[in-house]
Amino acid sequence: MLLVVDVGNTNTVLGLYRGKTLTHHWRLTSGSHTCDELGLALLNLLGTAGIGANEIAGAVVSSVVPPMDLALGEAIRLYLGSEALFVSTALDLGIEVLYRAPHEVGADRLVNAVAGVEAYGAPLVIVDFGTAITLDVVSGEKAYLGGAIAPGMALSMEALFGKTARLPKVSLAAPASVIGKTTMESIQAGIMYGTAGLIDTLVRRIWKELGDQAPVVATGGQAESVSPYTETIGKVDPWLTLEGLRLIYERNRPKAEA
């Protein structure tokens, strides 16, 4: 089986693939952990799924939290017996990267582009709802062009509550009307409909620059809750990043495992 790990600033998403089928997935809180803490967490997750460490034949990691990389790589090697493949532009991604400074591109953005092109073709716009909201653009020639980064919904709410004494914390849900009748509804309207509007504005500007209304696919934690209120997102694919990790691993599989 293949272990795929997407380490984000807030959450870490793990999945297990048997061939091309995603059989298990988990979402954990990212943070500072030792090799042993991570290793025991991995064994515990596998144990709940009835899977032994010896069944893991390979591992691939996408990370935007460099301080976690060393401990995670050691945990996978020591506790699962696999050498983790970390995604970077040095790998064979199957797409051209036209970012001005390729090493600056978040690994998750590249992984999403790889999976998006495979599943939906090109050109394509990918919206990822994470700690930050990223929009990534792939040209009709299947080249990664770049994109836009905006504060994520949870980040925006934390900033709002941190600077205002009387505003209550609310759940990320859309009220029935954009004209909120309570303070809670007003905040929800601003966050949910405001995020939907931000996405639509950026996508339309991207379309204008591309000269083509490329399909738009969304992924990430809040993709399903926000997408219905947008006018440009056509598809939600919650496991797009994990699928991209599998594809990149297959293209770069160590020769001993091929």
Triad 101, 104, 106: Cα angle to 5° = 135
Cα(31)–Cα(28) distance, integer angstroms: 9
Collect all residues with Cβ–Cβ distance below 8 Å to 48 and sequence separation of at least 6: none
Rounded (10°) angle between helices 240-251 and 107-120? 90
**Helix or strand run (H / E) with residue 186:** helix 183-210
Triad 55, 56, 59: Cα angle to 5° = 175
Helix (H, G, I), strand (E, B) or coil at 131: coil
Nearest to 247 by CA among 84, 117, 141, 104: 117
Collect all residues with Cβ–Cβ distance below 8 Å to 140 and sequence separation of at least 6: 122, 123, 212
Output the CA–CA distances (angstroms, integers) from residue 11 to 6, 8, 26, in the order listed.
Answer: 8, 5, 10
Residue tagged active-site, from 108, 128, 136, 237: 108
Q: Is-catalytic flag, 237?
A: no
Triad 214, 125, 14: Cα angle to 5° = 145
Nearest to 89 by CA among 100, 97, 78: 97
Q: Which residues are catalytic?
A: 108
